[in-house]
Amino acid sequence: MVQNAIVKKIVGEGVAQVSLLRQMECGLHCDGACAGCTAKPPQEILALAANGIGAQPGDFVEVEPASVGNISISAAVFLLPCLTLGLGYGLGVSLLHLSEMAALLTAAVGLAVGFVPAYLMDRAIRKRQAPEFNILKQLR
């Protein structure tokens, strides 16, 4: 999904920090001259973007999400905890012959085990700080 953003600062070679803008009805082409225009979001959403076009601070640009590994990360974060939850419950009922309440506790343990890889992946992504977006073109 393509979004509009404003380049805030150059972080490194080929990487810029951008402020993502919410999609507005006017497309932000009115320059805020409309009465009651809420063109600027109340809080800034900052992200890193690969700056292949050489955009400078203050430039209004179009960005798209970098799609490297998004599907595998989403699968790990959403499906793995669900899978381990079911396995924990199944283990408690079938193999350990536990009561319903005890099987629910093994399901909770399975859920916690499923969240560990998601937490570790989140830490690795935050530490790496790779650009989340690619700058496509300068708009104005």
pLDDT digits (tens, 9 = 90+) for 96-115: 999 999 999 999 999 999 99
Structural domain tally of the chain? 2
pTM, 2 dp: 0.56
Structure confidence at residue 29 (pLDDT): 55
Confidence category of residue 121, pLDDT binned at 50, 70, 90: confident
3-12 and 15-20 strand pairing: antiparallel
Do 42 and 63 have their domain in common?
A: yes
Do 84 and 117 have their domain in common?
A: yes
Do 55 and 75 have their domain in common?
A: no
Do 47 and 84 have their domain in common?
A: no
Do 12 and 55 have their domain in common?
A: yes
Which residue range is the domain that position 117 belongs to? 70-128
Do 80 and 54 have their domain in common?
A: no
CB half-sphere exposure, 61, CA atoms < 13 A: 28
Do 64 and 76 have their domain in common?
A: no
Do 77 and 115 have their domain in common?
A: yes
Short-list 16, 38, 21, CA closest to 134: 16
Angstrom distance (rounded) from CA 59 to CA 40: 15
Angstrom distance (rounded) from CA 18 to CA 134: 10
